[in-house]
Amino acid sequence: PAKPCLHAGADDESAPSKTTDLQKERAEFAMRAVEVGLALLRALTSVCDDVSLQMRVGIHTGSVVAGVVGKNGPRYHLFGTTVGYAQK
């Protein structure tokens, strides 16, 4: 199926429905992200018995670049101006 259009012409009668479809699609993706975060939190106790282990889940909606950095001790890092805001 065709992706919803962000910009529709003034003479396009289906423009309001396209915008509504896009909003529904974005809301669905957001809800899925929240559900995954909650599932991860619930799963923690079944994977690890250490009660001192804690997990914090955040959802980021801005632009970001991710990658593995380092040769001796490679680490997965996120880079972006909005990453700092998500950490706070």
> What confidence score (pLDDT) does residue 88 get?
61
Q: What is the pLDDT of residues 30-48, one digit of tens each?
A: 889 899 999 999 998 888 8
> What confidence score (pLDDT) does residue 69 get?
87
DSSP 9-38: -TT-TTHHHHHHHHHHHHHHHHHHHHHHHH
Q: What is the pLDDT of residues 43-80, one digit of tens each?
A: 988 888 888 888 888 777 777 788 888 888 888 887 87
Please tell me which residue, 11 or 75, carries the higher pLDDT value: 75
> What confidence score (pLDDT) does residue 8 get?
43
Residue of 62, 50, 52, 53 whose CA lies nearest to 87: 62
Using pLDDT thresholds of 50, 70 and 90, give the confidence band for residue 14. Answer: low
> What confidence score (pLDDT) does residue 22 get?
78
